[in-house]
Structure 1
Amino acid sequence: MVITPLVAFWIAILVGATVVLAEILHHRRIRRVAHLAFGPQGRPSAWTSLASPLRVVAAAAATWGLLVLLSADPLVREEKPTREASRHLLIALDVSPSMQLVDAGPDAEKESRAIWAGKIVQGVLDRLDASTTRVSLVAFYTDALPVLTETFDKEVVRNTLDGLPMSTAFESGPTKITEGVVKSLETARSWMPGTATLLVVSDGDELTSTSIPRLPASIADVLVIGVGDPQQTMSVGGHASRQDTVSLKQLSARLGGIYHQGNTRHPPSRLLEDLTMIEPRLSDGNGLRELAIACSVAGVATLALIGPLLSIAGRPRSWSRGWRGVEELS
């Protein structure tokens, strides 16, 4: 059984409920000898009313913290990439002339679709663990050409995303996005099943209707990101161009993936964190680990100290002085 923080939380709730029942039974037993233990009034010191809630919370916190620490991976990261890397990011990047149109970005002063697409991909690269993830980049226009194959170096990938017009490497003609995606998938057929994410970045201009074959077993996630203004058209190559959101959504549906309208904003963190090739951020893991350590220490310390404190200062002062006087006389 995999113990996630949520599973640990429900187990902690169960432990807390068990302690509540134990405290109720304990109070019933104390009530019978209250006058003998606490004097004529039959009540302990006022602060002891906090003991039961503290025990319940401490037991639940210690349980959750210890279970999270038990299931957490050790803080070990390889410094150098190895050939046993287990994840892949396959980028299918549109480099057609329409990607040079300047109508993208969140600022009032727009930038070219190609430059903004590069920034979006760089945002995804920043979330990768370079020691376990290989990156492959396929550029497409009238055809598809591999630019990078299974590289660990994110800086090399960044250098290819500077917005340069790579369309000059292709023959002129209509953009064949579907054919480009199909040829991109050929790169992933030799990879292990469920280890790769396909990232398609395009403006959707000139999307053809060629059927897409079955995805390779290696592709676990597909994310289609659209760039370019989806409302206002601009002229390129004798025709009007804008982001074709409908076609890109259809492409995403045919690939069994998710579409993100990214002309003015990066993909949200919640979307990226669900992708196979994203390594959980070390800072997030550290934060959870530190919280678990704090809960464990606080819970165990409270449970260990509350018993001696009740023995020392649990009785009313007047009764304690009288009890000590009797002991001295005896």
Structure 2
Amino acid sequence: MLELSLPWFLLLLPLPFIVYFLPKAKPKGDGIWWGNTEQLMDHQDRKAMPKSVTWRYVCLLLSWVLLVFALSQPIWLGEPTKVTPSGRDLLIALDLSGSMQVTDMTLNNQSVNRLEAAKSVLSGFIQERRGDRIGIIVFGSKAYLQAPLSFDTKTINQLVQETQIGFAGEQTAIGDAIGLSIKRLEDKPSDKKVLILMTDGANTAGRVQPQQAAAFAASQNVKIHTIGIGADSMIVQSFFGPKAINPSTDLDETLLKNIAAQTGGEYFRAKSTEDLHAIYQTLDALEPTPAEDVWQRPLTSLFHWLGLGSMAFLGLALLMSKQLSWNKRAWRSGEKA
């Protein structure tokens, strides 16, 4: 169905006809007055070549009509679709610090870094949360809002896949990430505030201490589930040959457990991609808050298409005008010959 956002612009449609039929100024006297011989020759040219002039006016008229309709901002309303929101506003805080590039995870039987494994699992989790409003916060040395709360899980997933290590700095500001999450959730009902915090390290940056942020989150009824990501054993090549190390020595599990316990959430330990899948299946099983169905209709703006059409007809009229000028010269040359 077509709708016009500014229909009163259609009042401009008859303007060219009004201008055309306005009384023309006539010179006094019975004679026909011409300002110069060029005007007289143009008058004769229009009589000799009426078709070219007519088509040029048609193009100008179509250009005007399309421009007026473009200014009225037409919108095409698609078929209504039902969205069943769970009533949950879910924020995901993703660590992009330098330590997330450690390749101690596997994906499709290939070694990948922690961020790639996290993005792969998050992709499936987000797609399954249709009906929830999901937002993304990324943090490193500072915390930033990557995507605001939205039902558009496709766009949210795309923004997650575009994140890269180091976008937010090399360190880890866990407290700032929690603080920004609280700010984005402060206007939401108390039974809808959920944050999933995923990190592989300890708090090494930021202006807000994680424990203070967690205490404030608890006072605001924000439930925080924390995930510590990173394998506990990894084989590396040293001067003396292969050596087993623990790549997760920097992970502050005590802090993450305290944050989850203080806010009524749970702490999860992800030592592999399979662990991440299991964790997000557990989180996906959390009982949502029921809400009424919401009907949405996709909106498609036609402004740019009509604008391009108007410019095309205007360009065609200008080309015809140029061609008409060439024809005039040829016709005059033939008359003189």
TM-score (norm 1): 0.50
TM-score (norm 2): 0.49
Which one has a larger percent strand, Structure 1 or Structure 2? 2
